[in-house]
Chains A and B, each alone.
Chain A
Amino acid sequence: MSTPLIVLIVVALILVLMYNSLVNKKNQVENIFATIDTQLKKRYDLIPNLVASVSKYMEHEKSLLEEVTKLRADANKPNLSDEKKIKLDAQISSALGSLMIAVENYPDLKANENVMHLQRTLNEVEEQISAARRAYNQAVTDYNNAIEMIPTNFMASAMNYTRKQVFEIVEAERKNVNVKELFN
């Protein structure tokens, strides 16, 4: 086999590998985002029950409950962009966090079995969402690295791949982690 042919085959092979690796990374991001969507849906389904269970007790927190309900309605609208979903997720996380802190101020509510069950389920869903977010951020980081680093960046720009946004940790969650660390 002649040398130019060997060089050509090697170059073609490298290009195919780079192309496949980029497609693989993009699909990984999309695949994990789909899982986040499922988890977020689980959380949206819990919200009406939660609001119904606590609303008659929480007269002073009416505005908070209205905000949670409105955010849920927004999140359920069709054809939302990924960026919009990420933004809404952060807002709902923060609003639900405030709601849970408010529940602490109502002893009757805290002891209510229905609310306790909802809280537990919400806790689990939150953990699952947080895990999915972390997986998504890692996939996005791998993808963003690939489209910015040499040599895959040339291939990525030819394929019109652009940077994707990561989930940012809600300020309230950061605080939660710190508090936990203090006690552990």
Chain B
Amino acid sequence: MKSKSELTDFYYKALYPILQDLEKDRKILRSRIISVGTIYTIVFALLIYTVYGSIKDEDVLTWGIFLYVAIGGFIYKFMIKDYTSEFKEKIISPLIDSLEEKLTYHKDLHISEHLFVRSKLFSSPDRTSGNDLVKGEIKNTKIRFSDFHAEKRHRNSKGRDSWSTIFRGLFVVAEFNKNFIGETVVLPDTAQKTFGDLIGNWLQSKNLGRDELVKMDDPEFEKRFVVYSDDQIEARYILSNSIMKKLTTFEKRFGHPLYISFVRNHIHLAVYYNKDMFEPSIFSSLLEYKTAMEYVDTLHLATGIIEELKLNERIWSKV
């Protein structure tokens, strides 16, 4: 697997001619979006002004803003659709190919709902979406990850639906290097952070939706995470002292809430962040170092899990 600097080099050197072409397209698209946006805003403002003038109802303004954002978002997505698709095919796909031969990239697919539910990390969703699925093998260890968005439906007394987000971010599933039978779930520790050790710990032990609370013997890990498992010993077999240290480091590096579970000999890792992974930038240059690093960083963090957690090292009886 390529290192981060090798990937950055590849982004700039091998992809440079394509990046330059895309940069031209991006500039044209940007000015088109600005013109369309300006005209759209003026037309909409005039329309609202006229309607409000004749009806004089405050609701017109509220509905007006809602419609303005919704239609605006739709137009924006429609305008960048082709460019996004081209960017992913010409930049992201080769970037992933160069990282590891045995990885394949599917820009329109995502992790299956079955894997999300299997992880036991979140409640079952009513609607799922996502994109940018990467799957394959790194150092003989199977891995797949994608952007994932899971939502729950709520129906009010009038029968109207509304949706709330259960999870949104990067979802990674990889083979684990030890065999295990039970289920162990590692969640961000919000109770202890909010209520302190004594009450926080008591609250955690009373979480009826989860298995038994497992108190871990690494103070730093215990401060950041809470562990539930149906097997006290197996949870500690999986979460050895070294893997706890690595997960703590990993969480610090991500800088976003991290949810991890060990189910059916696989590790499931969900990084909660409200951003799509490989979307092209429209308002900043593709040739800028910061922009390039964002793509490289995301890719490296997602695939880095194999090396960071040493999932490819089979020193145990599992072959």
Contacts and interface: CB of A to CB of B under 8 A. Distances in A.
A, B co-complexed: yes
Interface of A: 32, 35, 120-121, 123-124, 127-128, 130-132, 134-135, 137-139, 142, 177, 180-181, 184
Interface string B34-78: 000000000000000000000000000000000000000000000
Contacts of B236: 130-132, 134-135
A130 B315 CA distance: 16
Most buried by B among A134, A137, A138, A180: A134
Interface residues of B, number: 17
Interface stretch (B2-10, B88-96, B119-127, B238-246): B238-246
Contact of B233 (A121, A123, A132, A180): A132
Contacts of B178: 124, 127
A120 B237 contact: no
Contacts of A131: 233-237, 240
Nearest to A184: B242
Nearest to A35: B233
B215 interface: yes
A138 B217 contact: yes
Interface residues of B, dominant DSSP: helix
Contacts of B235: 131, 135
Contact of B317 (A124, A137, A139): A124
Top 6 closest pairs, chain A to chain B, by CB? A131-B237, A131-B236, A124-B316, A135-B232, A135-B233, A134-B236
Given A123-B315, A131-B235, 11 more contacts: A120-B315, A120-B316, A127-B237, A128-B233, A130-B240, A131-B233, A134-B217, A135-B235, A138-B215, A177-B241, A177-B242
A4 B246 CA distance: 57
B316 A137 contact: no
Contacts of A137: 217
Contacts of A138: 215, 217, 232
B245 A184 contact: yes
B218 to A, nearest CB: 10
A36 to B, nearest CB: 8
A41 B233 CA distance: 16
Nearest to B241: A177
A30 to B, nearest CB: 13
17 contacts: A32-B232, A32-B233, A35-B233, A120-B315, A120-B316, A121-B317, A123-B315, A124-B317, A127-B316, A130-B236, A130-B240, A131-B233, A131-B234, A131-B240, A132-B233, A132-B236, A135-B233
A117 B242 CA distance: 23
Nearest to B242: A180
A132 B235 CA distance: 10
